[in-house]
Amino acid sequence: MNAPWKSGSHGNRDAFAAYVCDETSLDVLRPVIIEMGWQPEKCNKGGLRNAVQSLSISASPNILMVDLSESGDPLNDINALAEVCEPGTVVIAIGQVNDVRLYRDLLSSGIHDYLLKPLSPGQIRDALVNAQAIFASPKHSDGASAKSHISTAVIGTRGGVGASTLATSLAWLFSAEHKVPTALLDLDIHFGTGALALDLEPGRGLTDAIENPSRIDGLFIERAMIRANDNLAILSAEAPITAPLMTDGSAFVQLEEEFRQAFEMTVIDLPRNMLINFPHLLSDVNVVVLVTEMTLASARDAIRLLSWLKTNANHAQVMVVANKVQPGAAEIGKADFEASIERKITFSVPFDFKAAANSAKLGQTFAEANRATKAGGTIRDIGKAVMGASDGLESSSLAPAKKSLLGKLDFKSMMPSKKAKAAVPIPLEAD
Ligand SMILES: Nc1ncnc2c1ncn2[C@@H]1O[C@H](COP(=O)(O)OP(=O)(O)O)[C@@H](O)[C@H]1O
Ligand SMILES: [Mg+2]
């Protein structure tokens, strides 16, 4: 909590203390506290007022849980708490009011988390583990509230090019190596592999969100997302393949909005058909990682997708990542590929069969399982480049390199065989 320090108190702070109004909640809380290795006597009966009274005469704990249920004006009482709490104390509020505005106001007044009653052991455990990580992490100086958020959409030119491999790897790198709170949203609703790559069950969170977009708020995402590590939460589905996707896309936009508030990075695994159906998904995205292979079909679709992005998401910084690159064994060489898409390939990730197998075997993302490989190293570079992108970036990367038709003509003329010529319907979209 960003509170002024209290003079005269120093030394041994307790790891934890709680001030909870009702016995039912205390009964749920105590066993979890014992499990965490803390003293159950630190779970006091009483609410926010009692917390303020006690802490005005004793050192505040590292993690403090306070019940707002009996407080008529929680925000005001929180300010009173801030005056008696030592800096660094991580405060978890609990209450019975399910109101996003209150939740946001509490967060902006320095509260770390808000748990809704009735409490459940799992919910308390998650919140405490998270609070411990926050307490242990290096403290930001005051004024860190205006954090910027980077939202990255990873789009494959075609299925199988490695978009999900990249998306899960980037999410893992941001969260585990850069220690930045990250959300991974897997919008391959029926066949997504985000959870699978992290060795997790997808849960029902995303399906619930699609079915009930009006329920999406900070508390909803807190509960619905599956935690992959201290800094990574994922929302994905393995929707039954007997049912078509019934959504107007509003749930996805709302989720993106909530992620902006709750995380510093969002990674969206965005199948290209979702982009056709829900173009507004790209409206707040800062970075687009367009993943491609060095094939004819991928070149065609890279051209079409780049053109789409130029028209519909010109604010986003676009990186073209060639994946599964095998020197000497590509359908289309690098120079020709770049000429046809009229821009440079930003990163080339080598084809590495062993690395892919290793990732599957370990149940870890490609980047985590293959730290020492060239492919893993390049994905790390992509991660750094995304982290370096910021909200205001201009989209120079999308600017046409030269006047357009030429590149497309080159592309046509380089096709070796009749078959290939016939098979290349070069899209001559109006730019
Ligand atoms: N650089 C690479 N080298 C070898 N195999 C790769 C590479 N990148 C991805 N793969 C493999 O390709 C397959 C398809 O990848 P995936 O990320 O699911 O593609 P997409 O999401 O674009 O359909 C996976 O089995 C993955 O392990
Ligand atoms: Mg995929």
* H/E run at residue 65: strand 63-67
**Higher pLDDT, residue 151 or 214:** 151
pLDDT beyond 50 at 431: no
Residue type, 373: T
Question: 138 CB under 6 A from ligand 1?
Answer: no
Ranking 133-137, 143-147, 170-174, 313-317 by mean pLDDT, the lowest is 143-147
Q: What is the DSSP string of 236-297?
A: -----TTS-----SHHHHHHHHHHHHH-SEEEEE--HHHHHH-GGGGTT-SEEEEEE-SSHH
Share of the chain above pLDDT 90, in %: 62
* H/E run at residue 377: helix 374-388
Ranking 30-39, 142-151, 413-422 by mean pLDDT, the lowest is 413-422
Residue type, 61: P
Tell me the pLDDT band of 105, cut-offs 50, 70 and 90.
confident
Tell me the pLDDT band of 420, cut-offs 50, 70 and 90.
very low
Any residues with CB less than 8 A from the CB of 177 and at least 6 apart, and which? 380, 383
- Over residues 251-271, the mean pLDDT reads 94
Q: Which atom of ligand 1 is nearest to the CA of 325?
A: 1
Handedness of CA 187, 193, 197, 199 (dihedral sign): positive
pLDDT tens sequence across 280-293: 999 989 999 999 99
pLDDT of amino acid 409: 32
Q: What is the DSSP letter of 214?
A: G
Q: Which atom of ligand 1 is nearest to the CA of 353?
A: 4
Most confident of 5-9, 103-107, 221-225, 374-378: 374-378
- Over residues 22-38, the mean pLDDT reads 94
Share of the chain above pLDDT 70, in %: 85
Handedness of CA 414, 420, 422, 424 (dihedral sign): negative
**Higher pLDDT, residue 137 or 21:** 21
pLDDT beyond 90 at 264: yes
Give distance in angstroms: CA of 155 to centre of ligand 1.
Answer: 13
pLDDT beyond 80 at 399: no
Give distance in angstroms: CA of 353 to centre of ligand 1.
Answer: 9
* Environment of ion ligand 2 (residues, CB < 5 A): 164
- Angstrom distance (rounded) from CA 151 to CA 147: 13
Give distance in angstroms: CA of 164 to centre of ligand 1.
Answer: 7
- Over residues 367-382, the mean pLDDT reads 96
pLDDT of amino acid 147: 59
- Angstrom distance (rounded) from CA 165 to CA 194: 8
- Over residues 191-220, the mean pLDDT reads 90
Tell me the pLDDT band of 101, cut-offs 50, 70 and 90.
confident
- Over residues 300-311, the mean pLDDT reads 96
Closest ligand relative to 191 C-alpha: 2
The per-residue pLDDT of the chain, averaged, comes to 84
Give distance in angstroms: CA of 192 to centre of ligand 2.
Answer: 6
Question: 173 CB under 6 A from ligand 1?
Answer: no
Quick one: how far is CA 194 from the chain centroid?
Answer: 12
pLDDT of amino acid 390: 59
pLDDT of amino acid 389: 81
Question: 353 CB under 6 A from ligand 1?
Answer: yes
pLDDT beyond 70 at 415: no
pLDDT of amino acid 309: 96
- Angstrom distance (rounded) from CA 14 to CA 9: 13
Closest ligand relative to 188 C-alpha: 2
pLDDT of amino acid 204: 87
Residue type, 79: N
pLDDT of amino acid 86: 78
Q: What is the DSSP string of 106-167?
A: HHHTT--EEEESSP-HHHHHHHHHHHHHHHHSPPPPTTTTS---EEEEEEESSTTSSHHHHH
pLDDT beyond 80 at 138: no
Give distance in angstroms: CA of 322 to centre of ligand 2.
Answer: 15
Question: 169 CB under 6 A from ligand 1?
Answer: no
Residue type, 247: T
pLDDT beyond 90 at 5: no
**Phi and psi torsions of 230, nearest 5°:** -55, -30
pLDDT beyond 70 at 346: yes
pLDDT beyond 50 at 14: yes
Q: Which atom of ligand 1 is nearest to the CA of 359?
A: 27
Residue for token pair 């998904």: 281
Contact by Cβ (8 Å): 290, 306: yes
Question: 352 CB under 6 A from ligand 1?
Answer: yes
- Ligand 1, atom 16, residue with closest C-alpha: 162
CA dist 13 → 10, 55, 349 (Å): 8, 11, 49
- Over residues 378-383, the mean pLDDT reads 96
**Phi and psi torsions of 41, nearest 5°:** -65, -15
pLDDT beyond 50 at 355: yes
pLDDT beyond 90 at 232: yes
pLDDT beyond 90 at 365: yes
pTM assigned to the model: 0.63
Token couple for 199: 């060795």
- What are the structural domains of the chain? 16-136 (3.40.50.2300), 150-416 (3.40.50.300)
Q: Which atom of ligand 1 is nearest to the CA of 271?
A: 21
pLDDT of amino acid 11: 52
pLDDT beyond 50 at 111: yes
Residue for token pair 């997708």: 305
Question: 155 CB under 6 A from ligand 1?
Answer: no
- Over residues 59-87, the mean pLDDT reads 88
Any residues with CB less than 8 A from the CB of 1 and at least 6 apart, and which? 81, 82, 85, 87, 88, 89, 90, 91, 110, 111
Q: Which of 154, 155, 158, 165 to mutate to test the pocket of ligand 1 (most atoms within 8 A of CB)?
A: 165
Q: Which atom of ligand 1 is nearest to the CA of 323?
A: 1
